[in-house]
Chains A and B, each alone.
Chain A
Amino acid sequence: MKGHLHLTCALQGDGTSALRQQSFCAPFHLSKPHRDAGALVVNVVNPTAGLFDGDELELVAHVEPGARLVLTTPSAGRVYQSRSGRPAKVSQTVRAAADSFVEFLPEPLIPQAGAIYAQQTSLELAAGAELLFFEWLSPGRVASGEVFQYRQLAWQTDLQRDGRLLARERYCLEPSQPASLAALTDHFPQAHYLGCFWISPHPLPRAALAALEGPGVYLGWSPLAAGGWTAKALCADALTARRLLGGLRTAFYAAMEREPPSLGRF
Chain B
Amino acid sequence: MLPDWLPWLLQVSDSAFPSGAYAHSLGLEELVQAGVVGDADALEAYLHRQVLPNLLALELPLLAHGHRCAAHGDLAGLQALDEELDAWKLAAELRAASRQLGSRRLALTQQLDADPLVSAYAARGAPCHHLAVCALELRHLPVEAAACAWAQQAIAGSATAAMKLMRLGQERCQGMIRRAVLALSPQLAAACQVPPHRAGWFNPLLEIASMRHAQAAERLFIS
Contact = CB atoms under 8 A, between A and B. Distances in A.
Interface of A: 155-156, 158-159, 165-173, 178-180, 182-184, 186-187, 193, 195, 218-226, 230, 232-234
A233 B208 contact: yes
A66 B183 CA distance: 54
Contacts of B210: 220, 222
A170 B57 CA distance: 10
Contacts of A195: 204
Interface in B41-76: 46, 48-50, 52-53, 57
Interface string B190-215: 00000000011111111111111010
A183 B50 contact: yes
B87 A183 contact: no
Contacts of A179: 48-50, 52-53
Residue from the set B50, B205, B214 with the largest chain A CB neighbour count within 10 Å: B205
B86 A222 contact: no
Q: Give the dominant DSSP class at A's interface.
A: strand
Contacts of A222: 90-93, 207, 210-211, 214
B95 interface: yes
Given A156-B200, A170-B200, A220-B211, A182 B49 contact: yes
Interface size class of B (residues with CB under 8 A): 35 or more
A187 B30 CA distance: 13
Contacts of A233: 208
Contacts of A219: 208
Which 10 pairs show the lowest CB-CB distances between chains A and B?
A220-B211, A170-B200, A171-B202, A220-B208, A182-B49, A225-B86, A183-B205, A168-B87, A165-B87, A183-B203
Contact of A225 (B36, B89, B208): B89
B88 interface: yes
Given A183-B203, A222-B92, A232-B208, A166 B50 contact: no
A225 B95 contact: yes
A221 B201 CA distance: 19
Contacts of A183: 50, 202-206
B87 A166 contact: yes
Contact of A169 (B48, B83, B84, B200): B200
Contacts of A171: 57, 200-202
Given A165-B84, A186-B49, A234-B204, 17 more contacts: A171-B201, A171-B202, A180-B53, A182-B205, A183-B203, A186-B50, A218-B34, A221-B211, A222-B93, A222-B210, A222-B211, A223-B92, A225-B87, A225-B92, A230-B90, A232-B90, A234-B205
Contacts of A232: 90, 204, 207-208, 211
A179 B205 CA distance: 13
B90 A167 contact: yes
Given A220-B211, A232-B207, A182 B200 contact: no
A186 B36 contact: yes
Residue from the set A172, A219, A220 with the largest chain B CB neighbour count within 10 Å: A220
Contact of A155 (B91, B95, B202, B212): B202
Given A170-B199, A179-B53, A186-B49, A193 B204 contact: yes
A207 to B, nearest CB: 12
8 contacts: A170-B200, A171-B200, A186-B49, A187-B34, A195-B204, A221-B211, A223-B92, A232-B207
